[in-house]
Structure 1
Amino acid sequence: MGLARLVDEADMRVLTAQLQSADSVALLRLAMNVFGLLFLWRVFGSHVSATVMIGWSVALIGAVAISALLIHRRKIGAGGVPQARDLRRHALTGLLHGLVWAACMTLFSRGEGAEHLVALWTLISCIMVCGAISYAATPLAAIAFLVPCIVGLSAMFDGETLLPLRALATSYALSLLVGCLIYARTFARQHSTTVQLAEQTEVVSLLLREYEQGASDWLWQTDALRRISGVSQRFAESVGMTPQALEGAPLVQVLAGAGWESGRFASSLHSLADHLKRRESFSNLALPVDVQGRTRWLELSASPRYDDNGNFQGFRGVGSDITIQRESADKIAQLARFDTLTGLPNRAHLRDALDQAMADTGNRRPGCAFLMLDLDRFKAINDSLGHQVGDQLLSQVAQRLRHVCGGAGFCGRIGGDEFGVVIARIDDDRAVARLSIAIIDALSAPYQIDQHVLHVGASVGSAVSPIDGHQSESIIRSADLALYRAKDEGGGVHCPYEPQLHAKAEERQRLEQALREALEKDQLHLLYQPVVDATSGVITGFEALARWTHPELGPIPPSKFVPVAEEARLIGPIGEWVLRTACREAMRWPAHIRVAVNVSAEQLHQSNFISAVINALAQSGLDARRLELEVTESVFMHEDDGALRVLDQLQAMGIQLSLDDFGTGYSSLGYLSRTRFNTIKIDRSFVVGAAHNTPENLAIIRAVVTLAESLGMSTTAEGVETATELDMVRRLGCKKVQGYYYGRPMLPQDAARLFPDPPAQACAVG
């Protein structure tokens, strides 16, 4: 149509064909317009005023001139390259001609007799036919010419008596228009198909030229007797022979090489011979061929060929040398079975070895065994000294493991610092334990890497078939559970699988699922334990303690569900809920009462923890100075400054910081000098020991109080339950006390009742 921008080369070629078709009939349009002009002067010259005749004639001549001018400009402009706008300009000439002849119908049909009307219709019908023919390849121009003519017919056959003639003439003109559009559609499709065929022919020719000039593939063919014919140089080079020697030689014999006489050749060559015998097409058939003492791989594809009479002429196909690809595939398969760092079999290879061992032993008791071992303290070395040292350490571990196992077991690397050993057959009841202890001893010896002497240990879990499982997957899972137990016992030990381990794992899984549902269904709640001034007994704050009451299992202690939450990565969502709830509840207390919330190490290392604290304060309206966050020394286990930066940001906001359970973990005194805590909490174990006058515990509490006072920090004694313990911590200088002596953890409404209404003064309890 010429209304859209040209998209590709095909559009350009169709446009060129349209304009060429229009130009080829330009003389026809000119001749018909001249004939029409002469006819009108001859028939209507004496019946129409000279002014009208001259004016109309000038308009017709102008339209013809404009058409010729546009054609001339198009041919000399833009380097002869047609554009979409050329179709629109061509349509403009059609519109001008249509308007001129519509004016003719209107002007020359007024007041004339039937004889002149018939003459005018005869001329107009010829003009429309000629226009439809000349504009047929350009649909926009055809529409522009015929639509004004259709409008002019209404003026020419005006009146009720001429209504049938008007309908007939209009139908005639519409038929011409529809015919033009159909022809234009067919014209465009034919030329598009021609363009596509030309492009495909060009591509085929290009591919054939590439085959002849430099492609890695080559063409081959045989005659009806399966002898090679028309040998290409590349085919001859692939089999290590000359084209002359190959010409007329049997294809199968050439590919079989030295194995032809003995009949010992690859099964794929038998398959090729069968295809040739049955005259069947085949593709991508890989064949090993001995070429000058080296095995090369050729890939052949071919189809049978027949002459016009259906007589079999042989095979024609394509071949390629895939030796490099085949060797690469073999190498990839090798890499897929072995660990690239240690050279040991990888997880998949271990699994296959275990499957084979279980198949060989069957139901024999005991059958085979699988050991899963994990390095102790490897992560600390990897984090502190870098992955390069860690990789060297793993390589040395692999060497020791390979040496220890020897012929006793098939060892491999599962991933990370986890390894596995398959004992294919157990002939001695102590064999598993003996090999496990030998592995632990060997891997626990010092390692010398660069300038570092490194010490790591190993933990081993084992499972035996078919006692601990009838499938490899169940054996591996049982060994993993046993390893988990060995790690829980402190590492450096071997633990065999026991049925209760599976029960504990299932219980933990059920507990994790129940905990997720509890978080979704709001089954958790908070209790608040008072923190009081050691001297006056006045409440200074509360510690928020998360509790969980399952609708079926009943109360579940924090010591049971908190470790599950940490392992299942639920401690973050639970911690955010505790923060929001505690801050909201603290708004019911007097303005000087703080609320303390425990924060895990995982929360401090989460990127959104600061924003979670800010949102909790903003939603509740709680002053940041009334919020106290309690952390344990475990947050400083990793050698990074991420936790320190987070604590510094929190303190800059005015939030109070408390170091919980001080002295029971890592005693990171260095962090006390780098992070200013507001409070140090003394664990109950020291309080109980000091109450019994244990010298060590008394000394520890005195040291902590002295340290805190020198650093400008307060101290809180936890777990104070008796008057004797209270008197002792007072004498030792503790500032605040928390424990059953002053109050057990209570519901939020009970905590709120401890204060007058409205809250204006502190409340002493106990």
Structure 2
Amino acid sequence: MVSKNANGLPKLPLRLSPLQIIGLRAPSQGDWSRLRALQYSDLHRASILRLAAHGMAAILVTTLYAGTLPAWILGGWLVMVAASLFHMSRVDRTFADIAKRTMSHQEFNRQAIAVGLCGVPWVIALLFFPGQGTTAEHFGLWTLASMLIAGAGASTNAAPISTVVFDLVVGVAGAASFVVSGDYLFAIASIAFLLAIVSAAVESARTHLSAKIAEAGVAEKDEVVSLLLREFEEKESDWLWQVDNNRRLRSVSPRFAYALGREPSEVEGERFIRLIAGDSFDTGDISRTLNDLAERLKRRESFSNLMVQANVAGQRRWWELSGTPMRDDSGSYIGFRGVGSDVTEQRDRDDKIAYLARYDTLTGLPNRLMLTEALGEALRYSEQWKTRCAFLMIDLDRFKSVNDSLGHQVGDRLLAKVSERLSGVTSENTRCGRLGGDEFAVVIRDASDRGFVDDIARGIIEQLSQPYIVDNHTLYIGASVGSAIGPRDGNSVETLMRNADLALYRAKDEGGGMHFNYVPSLHADAEERRTLELSLRNAIGKEELELNFQPVVNARTEEVVSFEALLRWNSSEHGFVSPGKFIPLAEDTRLIVPIGTWVLQEACRTAVRWPDDIKVAVNVSGEQLLERDFTANVVKALADSGLPAHRLEVEVTESVFLRDGRLANQTLEEILALGCSIALDDFGTGYSSLGYLRDLRFSTIKVDRSFVQGASCDSQESLAIIRAVVAMASSLEMTTTAEGVETAEQAAMIRELGCTKIQGFYFGRPMTTADAHVLVTKRRAA
């Protein structure tokens, strides 16, 4: 198979059949049009010579037959010759620019036809003139025709089809003329002469075409070299370098000297490696890349795009070098020559990109990708040495409230301080990084010591729970840790990370600030949570949710003044599910929003059947309150049920103000504008900010059951808190509701402390809608 150059043309040696050279068949490789263009590029230069030869031969024929043929015949024949030659010259001139373009089949055919037309007058002369003259004149005519045949073979090798067409047309006519005159020997000789001329013309055309292709190849290489040299000259950061067989610099170019920060004369003859190594050469602290370069020079092997760390004027630079050994005419090694380029900026850019791909930009700790790679390496280490590794997932407790209350900028600075403390965990055996958000992780390569993981986890919790000073704010957060041991708890990165996440979820579920190891039962818990979530999504449609109502009574008269609506779920798949289990699940999955809307509507429909002076209280989560259409849902629930707005009390906790205090205040103001009342639930157990009470007109403050239980056990702190809440509520013209009252003694104590309303088992447990209706009906009847 013939290889091709960049132009698609066959490279030498050119193996083409005669038909392919003539142009009657396309080459097996390469482009026919481009090949013909190279072949015909010199055709127009031989046009004048062909015209002169044909003209002179035509004049000689006229002279030869002047006394034999009538003048009008010779004159007409001359006109025919002149017309054919004129047409051929016009066609030839169209090929003057053929070297700059390709040739079409139409042009090829037109030129062949023009040559054929030039042969027609000679065919007429050879077939008809001999019969009018003598044998000598016949041989004279054939002599002139054979000269034109030979001349065509010699002068039109640029267009072999011209030779073939003209020689065959005229030659066959000449042979036929001898057959007619009975000179068979001369007819055979003419045919032999014709074949020899055509064969020689084809070989001459082969040589001409080969020369043209070689010339085109050289021109193309010259163009490529010129382009590379021009590009080299334009790129000021590139240079040429050359060393002798002792690796000393020779013929130092100005650009290379400039890259070294020296003059060419200063570095001429200096040792190459010593020069670019700088001060590190004397100390012996040569970089690995320079050692690699020295070895390649020593082995006298070519190299390309070798990255080398150079020390230029005390600065670290990165050079990209290519080089090849030089040899003299006898083949002896005389040194190296090559090119170089300063790629420091590009290398720094690449290093920065690589850093960003593997490190967290905020904290500077390894990111998820790098931690994943480290855990994979730890698992391979454990398998090789039959040890154990560990993966710890860390989640910050109460970080979200800091982010929501003080803003993301403070949150980011806090994360940076957290990362500083976690960096103390890093060692040869451990690697700490950030997974994203407020989640971090630690990879322990060798965790064979069973207590090591617990010690690391306790140390992390203790360190991260210490106070932080950020922008003059004293912040308190904590940490929860979940861990999984490999390969015991998983022999793959994905499995180990998932199991550590399950352990972390358990730690968070238990209140945070603790460490949990993975146990197989967590999978069952996770599966239960998954199936519970799936069932909860369908609970409303299956009518599995229902409301219970717990009475709230006047502390003095013990008359029912309101009911708190409490959600219950009796699942067809899971049975009765505790609110403590499914309410947090609903909040985590945002199912609390549609469920809360249903509770609001159902509570209003139930309360409208009670006496007009009894209210209904509905607990609203932060997820619900921060929905843009929450106020519209309240309006719809009141309108659909017909319940007056003053009979609906919305209960919220302080946590709703931590996520988006502005939006929470705006929404509650809109609810107050409707005529509804607002109760602040669990006051004293959370953040207990008096700013909430100042900014919003709450109707009721609810005292948490933990303070009621503490007060009943003579806890002075609980008693003081209840008295303070009652006094504050009284001064702000708010009522107070004590939760969790279970005995007569507790009820009496609450009355004495001044609470205005009481809620608890002593006055009634949560009851069904029917029981609540019966209760208020009997109380009013009595």
Alignment TM class, shorter chain as reference? 0.5 to 0.7
Residue identity opposite 2:615 in structure 1 = R
Distance 2:393 2:447 in 1: 16
- C-alpha distance 764-667 of structure 1, shift in aligned 2 (>3 A): farther
Equivalent in the alignment of 1:423: 444
Q: Report Cα offsets for 1:476-518 as digits up to 9, x if no partner.
A: 1222233334445554444332333333233222222221121
Q: Bigger shift: 590-599 or 380-389? A: 380-389
3-state SS of paired residue (2:548): strand
Q: CA deviation at 1:472?
A: 0.8
Whether 1:359 and 2:380 are equivalent positions in the alignment is yes
Distance 1:428 1:222 in 2: 74
Whether 1:705 and 2:722 are equivalent positions in the alignment is no
Equivalent in the alignment of 1:601: 622
Equivalent in the alignment of 2:780: 763
| Superposition CA RMSD, Å | 4.0
* Contact 1:405–1:435 (8 Å) recurs in 2: no
Residue identity opposite 1:398 in structure 2 = S
698, 714, 730: which one aligns with 1:677:
698
Q: CA deviation at 1:363?
A: 7.5
Whether 1:576 and 2:604 are equivalent positions in the alignment is no
* TM-score computed with the length of structure 1 as normaliser: 0.56
3-state SS of paired residue (1:677): coil
681, 685, 689: which one aligns with 1:660:
681
Equivalent in the alignment of 1:752: 773
* TM-score computed with the length of structure 2 as normaliser: 0.55
Distance 1:739 1:436 in 2: 41
Q: CA deviation at 1:329?
A: 5.3
- C-alpha distance 226-471 of structure 1, shift in aligned 2 (>3 A): farther
Q: CA deviation at 1:295?
A: 4.4
Equivalent in the alignment of 1:737: 758
Q: CA deviation at 1:620?
A: 1.8
- C-alpha distance 614-688 of structure 1, shift in aligned 2 (>3 A): same
Q: Report Cα offsets for 1:98-149 as digits up to 9, x if no partner.
A: xxxxxxxxxxxxxxxxxxxxxxxxxxxxxxxxxxxxxxxxxxxxxxxxxxxx
- C-alpha distance 422-651 of structure 1, shift in aligned 2 (>3 A): same
Distance 2:632 2:307 in 1: 69
Q: Bigger shift: 517-526 or 379-388? A: 379-388
Residue identity opposite 1:333 in structure 2 = A
Distance 2:225 2:712 in 1: 106
Q: CA deviation at 1:625?
A: 0.8
Q: Which runs of 5+ in 2 are unaligned?
A: 1-215, 242-250, 252-292, 311-316, 323-340
Residue identity opposite 1:709 in structure 2 = S
* Contact 1:365–1:465 (8 Å) recurs in 2: no
Equivalent in the alignment of 1:368: 389
511, 516, 523: which one aligns with 2:537:
516
Q: Report Cα offsets for 1:603-638 as digits up to 9, x if no partner.
A: 222222112111211222221111111122333445
* Contact 2:484–2:499 (8 Å) recurs in 1: yes
Distance 1:518 1:265 in 2: 75
- C-alpha distance 382-730 of structure 1, shift in aligned 2 (>3 A): closer
Whether 1:502 and 2:523 are equivalent positions in the alignment is yes
Equivalent in the alignment of 1:343: 364
Q: Which runs of 5+ in 1 are unaligned?
A: 1-219, 246-256, 270-286, 299-319
- C-alpha distance 441-730 of structure 1, shift in aligned 2 (>3 A): closer
- C-alpha distance 227-685 of structure 1, shift in aligned 2 (>3 A): closer
Residue identity opposite 1:233 in structure 2 = L
- C-alpha distance 386-429 of structure 1, shift in aligned 2 (>3 A): same
Residue identity opposite 2:230 in structure 1 = R
234, 238, 244: which one aligns with 2:230:
234
- C-alpha distance 447-659 of structure 1, shift in aligned 2 (>3 A): closer
Q: Bigger shift: 454-463 or 465-474? A: 454-463
Distance 1:686 1:602 in 2: 27
Distance 1:444 1:728 in 2: 38
Q: Report Cα offsets for 1:436-493 as digits up to 9, x if no partner.
A: 3444455455656565665554443322101111111111122223333444555444
* Contact 1:374–1:417 (8 Å) recurs in 2: yes
Whether 1:565 and 2:561 are equivalent positions in the alignment is no
Q: CA deviation at 1:655?
A: 0.1
Distance 2:217 2:483 in 1: 62
**What are the equivalent positions in structure 2 for 1:346-745 lying under 5 Å apart?**
346-362=367-383, 366-444=387-465, 456-489=477-510, 491-637=512-658, 640-690=661-711, 697-745=718-766
Equivalent in the alignment of 2:153: none
Q: CA deviation at 1:597?
A: 0.7
Distance 2:217 2:374 in 1: 47
* Contact 1:397–1:443 (8 Å) recurs in 2: yes
Distance 2:720 2:469 in 1: 41
* Contact 2:319–2:342 (8 Å) recurs in 1: no
Q: Report Cα offsets for 1:8-56 as digits up to 9, x if no partner.
A: xxxxxxxxxxxxxxxxxxxxxxxxxxxxxxxxxxxxxxxxxxxxxxxxx
Distance 1:698 1:453 in 2: 29
Equivalent in the alignment of 2:110: none
- C-alpha distance 321-627 of structure 1, shift in aligned 2 (>3 A): same
Distance 1:400 1:696 in 2: 36
- C-alpha distance 660-221 of structure 1, shift in aligned 2 (>3 A): farther
- How many residues get paired? 490
Distance 1:701 1:720 in 2: 13
Residue identity opposite 1:642 in structure 2 = L
Distance 2:411 2:752 in 1: 51
- C-alpha distance 751-421 of structure 1, shift in aligned 2 (>3 A): closer
Residue identity opposite 1:338 in structure 2 = Y
Distance 2:666 2:751 in 1: 34
Choose 1 or 2 for highest CA Rg. 2
Distance 2:399 2:497 in 1: 22
Q: CA deviation at 1:348?
A: 0.7
Distance 1:291 1:530 in 2: 81
3-state SS of paired residue (1:519): coil
* Contact 1:297–1:322 (8 Å) recurs in 2: no
Residue identity opposite 1:763 in structure 2 = R
* Contact 2:482–2:501 (8 Å) recurs in 1: yes
Q: Bigger shift: 414-423 or 658-667? A: 658-667
- C-alpha distance 489-543 of structure 1, shift in aligned 2 (>3 A): closer
* Contact 1:372–1:418 (8 Å) recurs in 2: yes
Q: CA deviation at 1:600?
A: 1.6
3-state SS of paired residue (2:655): helix
Q: CA deviation at 1:552?
A: 2.6
Equivalent in the alignment of 1:127: none
Q: CA deviation at 1:539?
A: 3.0
Q: CA deviation at 1:653?
A: 1.4
Distance 2:226 2:631 in 1: 79
- C-alpha distance 737-497 of structure 1, shift in aligned 2 (>3 A): same
Q: CA deviation at 1:654?
A: 0.7
Distance 2:484 2:693 in 1: 46
- C-alpha distance 221-579 of structure 1, shift in aligned 2 (>3 A): farther
Distance 1:698 1:447 in 2: 32
Q: CA deviation at 1:549?
A: 0.1
3-state SS of paired residue (2:540): helix
3-state SS of paired residue (1:667): coil
* Contact 2:318–2:342 (8 Å) recurs in 1: no
Q: CA deviation at 1:357?
A: 1.7
- C-alpha distance 368-554 of structure 1, shift in aligned 2 (>3 A): same
Distance 2:469 2:761 in 1: 53
- C-alpha distance 421-228 of structure 1, shift in aligned 2 (>3 A): same
- C-alpha distance 546-265 of structure 1, shift in aligned 2 (>3 A): farther
* Contact 1:337–1:349 (8 Å) recurs in 2: yes
**What are the equivalent positions in structure 2 for 1:48-63 lying under 5 Å apart?**
none
Distance 1:746 1:581 in 2: 15
